[in-house]
Structures are given as structure tokens and as C-alpha cells.
Chain A
């Protein structure tokens, strides 16, 4: 009777451990090749320094997407959402420090932030979704939701680094709820409702490439000097004149986890708004790298399966042969 010696088994086990670690490390190193921005991708540049906190974008969003008011603040007729929820796809939140007197100051100041889906270049939610219910539109790059595919597993919520997808916890047959950038308006040549409602151009719609150029222009502005700022949509042609503020020299979303299509500029550091400080490579790329190595065209599993089937068949036959000879006197032909 053949036996695999324990020593050999351990050697094999240790070898596969080493192999897997090497594979994993080389994969995460090349993970940066995962996804890229497309030239037709659209998004929003939100400039916190231009936002006056009027919440016009919030009611416009509710109307455009047919969402009920969120009575978190106590009123059922007036929308008073204090955060994103199953009823709220877009919310303006405020950061306050000390006496809260100076706008866009991290000390004794206040600043606004517009929270919504950032429409990642390499979205964790879409990578997580087993049934492609969350998926990236190839043309616009918008991360869309298809309720007819969704099974409600909520892995998207685990995977989203910005806590965006919300779940209808109090519904007997719930859906995932998140901003889809008003794709129904964009299809008809319009822009996201929040941007068309924004009176100051704080929320600016456009192609991501153009928005990135605009953000670069703003970072070169001299604080206190007047400049023209586009309003509603970057190619609409309407502009307003504002005094430039002092920006944090960073566009949030330019590189975060592979980049996003909704991007932020601000006068206060982004962590003040609770936005996570994340690496440039997306977690999705790391996970895809590992899964891709192990399951590419199912070649590896097929090889392992064949090997297993071969040895199991061999060992089973050996065992039965042995069994038959030793037991032939007692049980005769039994099995």
C-alpha cells in the first residue's frame, strides 16, 4: 500500500504557500493596469469653496429621481436629510470647527461637501456584484443599477469605500439605491439635475477630461483675485465671476483608488469631511488580480480537478482490491 509520506506532504504544502505568496505579490504590483478613464466619461466637479449650502441640488435631485422627502430632521413635508439614505441620493453636509465663523477654514470655520456616488473609474461595487446589477456604462462611465438583476446580497455595500450604496432595510422586497448621475436626463442631452439647479457653479457637470483641466486651472488661481467660473455644465457657456479661494492643492478623486468621475475641490482638508484617505490602486484591482491568476479561463481548477480525479480513482481502486481480498472469506461478493 502506497502512502504519501507526511514529510513530502508538508514539503508540498510549504511549496504551494510560497508559490501563492509570490503570485499574489506580483499581481498586486501590476494591479495599476486595471481600468482607465474614457474620453466620453462624464462626471461632476464639486467645488466646496463655491458652495453656499442652499440645498437646491438636493430638492432638484429628489424631483428628477422621484424620491420621497427624508424626514430625518423631523418634518415629513420638508426634505431635511442629514445624510445619504434609501431616500436620498445626494446630500450637502457641513463641516464646522470652533466658532464656525470663517468659510472654508479648517480652524474656527465651516465648509460644505456634496456627498453622492463618485462613479469610480474602477468601481468596487461593480467588481463585487455577482450578477452585474451594478455595472459601469461603457460610453458614459456612469455606474448604473439594474434592479431586475440584483439579488440583494449587499456585497456592493461592503465593497464601496465611500459608503454610497444604500439598502431599503424596511421594505419586504428591497432595492439598492444610489446616484446614477441622472443618466435618464443625460440620455436626452441634459445634465445631472443637481448641476442644473446649482446657482453658483459649485456642482459642475461635464466630461471628466474637461473637468480635470478646469480643476488644474483653479489650482493655479491666485486667492482673492476674480476669475470666471462656469456654471451648471462646463460646455454650456454660462459663467459667473467669483473671487478665487485658497484651495487645498489636491483634487479628491483624481487618483483615489484608480480615480473617480465625481471629483472634489476644497479649502479644507478632505479628511475633515470624513472622506477616506485611500491608496491610488483600487481594492478591486487587487482582488481581480488574485482571482484572475487563480481562475483564468478555469485552467488551474481544471488541472487540479484532473489530478484529484486521477489519484482518487487510483486510491479507491487499490482500497477496494485490498478490501476484497481481506474480506472475501467473510462477505463474499458484497461490493
Chain B
């Protein structure tokens, strides 16, 4: 059912050792966190109850992990079969991204042993956006690994099981499209409750729509970003023309998103704030500058055929989405009363370690399990 093959090769590369070093340091920070509490290792406070463990690990990180979502949407819902080779690598990156976001939540929540309350019907608050996000992300992690299971079954030659799974996998893929649509938009809805604490350039009832949009364009950009790196590192052959096609869809997603965003800021009467020269005004402009430059690159057929330019555009678009989400959760979040926040080195170490874990685990998986299809020029697949 798939032409993907394990890439083989050395597991303990220097990259993996660097990753393990970060993980070790973060381990010390976490031991301290679980013995003495969150205060001694983090700069979070009653004014900034969420730091980068939520803003990066969950909110930005899960958007970086939307490659699996957009590729499933493209290939299976919109029936663009030619992108099939991009699905499995994207799914794997998504599975790690989401799993580690889930793990990070357990470092962050104070009363982790009480998390089972989320599943007690009499404790559930179905009106809570957080409840919806927690349920959706929890289920989606599970779904992602099930979607990836054919790779395990192929590796371990479980043909019977694989056939069985193949019969019902359309239900899993449907869940794999529905759940991110729900929780990625809800990550935006979540900050509506922050009210005046979130700067008016970002606070709007359209937060769910804008968050869903960033999830889409960050997902597409991540597919190009990861794909470009993988095809270089693992000599997978030239996939530029496939990425160029992805980038044309990406172009329109960003165009629609920017129209909605700018229209919304204009209608709410805050476009003036954007050009006031204030720090937050400049942050708003920076988000849009990243997007405009990224769009200009992928809008040009000449740049589109260059792997380097496509990569640069993907990076810019990822920066735009990440900055937008950081702005909503931290930078444009102003609780007042003299509170301020910048992540402590301990918080940063844990976040770096999570990224390192993703990289190390990803490199192991592509070598040991069938993830990539190695091919010469693109489109050679049926």
C-alpha cells in the first residue's frame, strides 16, 4: 500500500548526541520542578500564568505539527493523490509534535495527578474551551499514532493486521481532519476570555478563525520546510516541483487569511494602532511583513522553482504564524499591575529539550520504519 522504505544508516549521529545533552539538562530542571514547584524553575507568575511551555510547546508547537493535518486534508479530502509521498513524513512529524505538546502539558499543570477529572462526566465543563482543547488534543495524539500504524505494521510484516486497519483507516483519517480543525480554532477561542488583557490588535471574536488559518498555512509551510531538509539530509531526490505545487495552494490560504485579518483590524478601528510606532504595533507589522515577503516569493513562478527560495519562504511563513501565536499568548498579553514575563533558562531548557526529542526521535524513525519514498524526479509515483 505504500512504496515507503526505511532509510537505514547510523542511529547515534552527532546530532542525536547534542539532542541527548539538552534532554539531560532539562531532566535536572524537571526534577527540581516536581520537587519544589513551578515557581523556583520558571518566571511564570499570577499575572503571566502561562509561559513558553504553553505558548511555544502547545500553541506554536501544535501548529508546527499541522503538516499531517493539511496533507490528510489535501490527499484524502480534496483528492490530490500526487502529494501522497508527503503524507507519511508529515504524519510522523505531527505525531511527535503533538505527543510532546501533550507531555509538556503534564510538566506545566500543577495538579497533574488530578487530570483524570477531565474524563469524569460529572466534572466535565463542556462550556470550557480548555476542556474542548484538552479532549481534542488528547484524542488526536492517539489518532495520529493510529494513522501512522501502517508504517509499524509494514516494518514488522503484519500483513493481516494491516489489511484490517486499512478497512477502517478512513474513519481515523476523518477524525484526523476533524479534530485539528476543532482544537486549532479553539486555541484561538481560548484567549477571548482574556478580554482586555489581550491587546485589541489581536483580541477579536474571529480569533478561532484566524487560529485555524495559521494552523493551515503553518502546516503547509512545515511540509515544505521539513521536506526540503529531509530530501537534502537523506538524499531523497528532488521534490521541488511537488513543493512548488503545495506552495501555490499555500499562497491562496495566506491571501485569504491576510484579507480577513486586516479587514477585521480595520473594522474594529485599530489599524491606526498598527502604525503608531508602538512596540505592539510593530509586532503586528512584523507578522504581516513576514507573510507578505513569503507570499511574494511563492507568488513568483521563478522563485517557486528554486528549492532555496521555497525554503526561505517556508521559514518566513512559519515565523509569521509563530509570531502571531506568541503575540496572542504572551507578547500582546498585558495583565497590568506591574507583571512582566521572560522565560527563565530552565523553562527554555525544557522547551529546547522537547524540540531536541522531536528531532532525535524523527531521525530514528525514518531510518528504522518505512516513512520516505525515495524517488528520482517527482511524479514518478503512479
Interface residues of A (CB under 8 A from B): 1-4, 6, 9-10, 13-14, 17, 20-21, 24-25, 27-28, 85, 124, 126-133, 147-155, 157-159, 161, 163, 165-175, 257, 274, 276, 278, 283-284, 286-288, 290-292, 294-295, 301, 304-305, 308-309, 311-313, 315-316, 318-320, 322-323, 326-327, 334-335
Q: Which residues of A contact B39 (CB under 8 A)?
A: 169-170
Q: Assuming A124-B193, A152-B110, is B35 touching A308 (CB within 8 A)?
A: no
> Would you call A129 and B128 a contact (CB within 8 A)?
yes
Q: Give the A-binding residues of B (Cβ under 8 A).
A: 1, 34-40, 44-47, 49-50, 75-81, 84, 108-115, 117-118, 120, 123-132, 134, 162-163, 166, 169-171, 173-175, 177-178, 181-182, 185-186, 189-197, 205-206, 208-209, 249, 252-253, 256, 260, 335-337, 382
Q: Which residues of A contact B191 (CB under 8 A)?
A: 158
Question: A6-B252, A149-B123 in contact; A312/B36 too (CB < 8 A)?
Answer: no
Instruction: Check A169/B44 contact, CB under 8 A, given A157-B49, A295-B132, A304-B181.
Output: yes
User: Does the CB pair A151–B127 fall under 8 Å?
Assistant: no
Q: List 21 A-B contacts (CB under 8 A).
A: A3-B78, A4-B78, A13-B256, A20-B209, A24-B209, A130-B125, A131-B118, A149-B123, A150-B111, A153-B109, A155-B190, A157-B46, A161-B195, A167-B46, A167-B49, A169-B46, A301-B178, A308-B177, A318-B79, A319-B79, A319-B81
Q: Which residue of B lies closest to A319 (CB)?
A: B81
- Out of A1, A163, A173, A174, which one reaches B335, CB within 8 Å? A163
Q: How far is the CA of A286 from the CA of B177 in the complex (A)?
A: 26
Q: Name the CB-closest residue of A to B193.
A: A159
B177 touches A130 (CB 8 A): no
Q: How far is the CB of A315 from chain B (nearest CB, A)?
A: 4
Chain B residues whose CB sits within 8 angstroms of the CB of A175 once the complex forms: 110-111
Name the one of B114, B173, B209 contacting A17, with C-beta atoms under 8 angstroms: B209
Please, which residue of chain B has its CB at the minimum distance from the CB of A159? B193
Given the known inter-chain contacts A124-B195, A283-B195, A311-B77, please indicate yes or no for A274 contacting B336, CB distance below 8 A. Answer: yes
Q: Are A174 and B38 closer than 8 Å at their CB atoms?
A: yes
B78 / chain A contacts, CB cutoff of 8 Å: 3-4, 9
Asked if A21 meets B209 with Cβ closer than 8 Å, knowing A130-B128, A149-B123, A287-B193, the reply is yes
Counting residue pairs across A and B whose Cβ atoms lie within 8 Å, the total is 235
Residue of A nearest to B42 (CB): A169
A1, B35: Cβ atoms under 8 Å? no
A158:B128 contact, CB within 8 angstroms: no
Distance to closest chain B CB from A134 (angstroms) = 9
Check if B132 sits within 8 Å of A291, measured CB to CB: yes
Q: Judge whether A131 and B109 touch: CB under 8 Å.
A: no
Is B205 in contact with A315, judged by CB distance below 8 angstroms?
no
Which 8 residue pairs across A and B have the least CB separation, nearest first?
A152-B110, A169-B39, A152-B111, A335-B1, A130-B131, A154-B49, A157-B49, A308-B174
**Whole-angstrom distance between the alpha carbons of A124 and B127 in the complex?**
11
Interface centre among B84, B131, B256, B337 (most CB of A within 10 A): B131
Given that A127-B128, A152-B114, A154-B110 are known contacts, is A159 also in contact with B194, CB under 8 Å in the complex?
A: yes
Please give the distance in Å from B316's CB to the nearest CB on chain A.
Answer: 22
Contact of B112 among A151, A161, A294, A320 (CB under 8 A): A151
Complex alpha-carbon distance, A282 and B238, angstroms:
54
Is A151 in contact with B114, judged by CB distance below 8 angstroms?
yes
Whether B125 lies near A10 (C-beta < 8 A) is no
Give Cα A14 to B209, complex, Å: 12
B124 touches which one: A25, A131, A172, A287 (CB < 8 A)? A131
Chain A residues contacting B115 (CB-CB under 8 Å) are: 151
Report the minimum CB–CB distance from A137 to chain B (whole Å): 15
| Known A152-B112, A163-B337, A327-B382; contact A14-B256, beta-carbon cutoff 8 A | yes
Q: Which of B125, B162, B171 contacts A129 (CB 8 A)?
A: B125
What is the CB-to-nearest-CB distance from B378 to chain A, in angstroms, rounded to a whole number?
17
Most buried by A among B45, B130, B169, B206: B130
Partner of A132, one of B47, B125, B162, B205: B125
Q: Given A130-B125, A326-B382, are A312 and B174 also a contact pair (CB < 8 Å)?
A: yes
Q: Determine the distance from Cα of A247 to Cα of B44 in the docked complex, in whole angstroms.
A: 39
Residues on A with C-beta less than 8 A from B118 are 130-131, 151
Chain A nearest Cβ from B54, distance in angstroms: 9
Given A130-B134, A291-B189, A335-B166: A163 in contact with B46 (beta carbons within 8 A): yes
User: Which residues in B have their C-beta under 8 angstroms from that of A20?
Assistant: 206, 208-209
Q: Which residues of A contact B209 (CB under 8 A)?
A: 17, 20-21, 24
B177 / chain A contacts, CB cutoff of 8 Å:
308, 312
- Which of the listed residues A28, A151, A305 has the most CB atoms from chain B within 10 Å of its own CB? A151
Known pairs A17-B256, A151-B110 / 11 extra A-B pairs, C-beta < 8 Å: A3-B78, A10-B252, A130-B125, A152-B112, A167-B110, A172-B37, A291-B132, A291-B189, A305-B174, A315-B79, A327-B382
- Cα distance A323–B381 when bound, in Å? 10
In the complex, chain B residues whose CB is within 8 Å of the CB of A153: 108-110, 130
Contact check, B37 vs A28: say whether CB atoms are below 8 A apart. Answer: no
Q: A152-B109, A155-B130, A326-B382 are in contact. Are A308 and B81 (CB under 8 A)?
A: no
Q: Are A313 and B170 in contact (CB under 8 A)?
A: yes
Given the complex of chains A and B, what is the CA–CA distance between A319 and B77 in angstroms?
Answer: 12
The answer to whether A312 touches B50, judged by C-beta atoms less than 8 angstroms apart, is: no
Question: For B189, what are the chain A residues with a Cβ–Cβ distance below 8 Å?
Answer: 287, 290-291
- Give Cα A248–Cα B81 distance, bound, in whole angstroms: 68
